[in-house]
Amino acid sequence: MKINGHLDQIERIGRFIQEAAQDAGFDEMESYACELAVCEACENIILHGYGDDSTGEIEVAVQTEPDNITIELWDDAPPFDPANDPTKLDRSTDNPPVGGLGLVIIHKVMDDVEYNRREGRNQLSMRRARKSPA
Could you report the per-residue pLDDT of 63-120, keeping only the tens digit for each? Answer: 999 999 999 999 999 998 777 656 554 545 454 444 567 888 999 999 999 999 999 9
Total number of domains constituting the chain: 1
Instruction: Please state, as a whole number, how many other Cβ atoms lie within 10 Å of the Cβ of residue 61.
Output: 13
Confidence at residue 96, expressed as pLDDT on a 0 to 100 scale: 47
Three-state SS string over 96-118 comes to: CCCCCCHHHHHHHHCCEEEEEEE
Provide the CATH number for the domain around residue 79.
3.30.565.10
Residue 108 lies in a domain: yes
Residue 134 lies in a domain: no
pTM comes to 0.85
Instruction: Yes or no: say if 126 and 113 are a contact pair by the CB < 8 Å rule.
Output: yes
Residue 11 lies in a domain: yes
Range of the domain at 103: 2-129
Residue 75 pairs in a beta bridge with: 58, 122
Instruction: Yes or no: say if 69 and 127 are a contact pair by the CB < 8 Å rule.
Output: yes
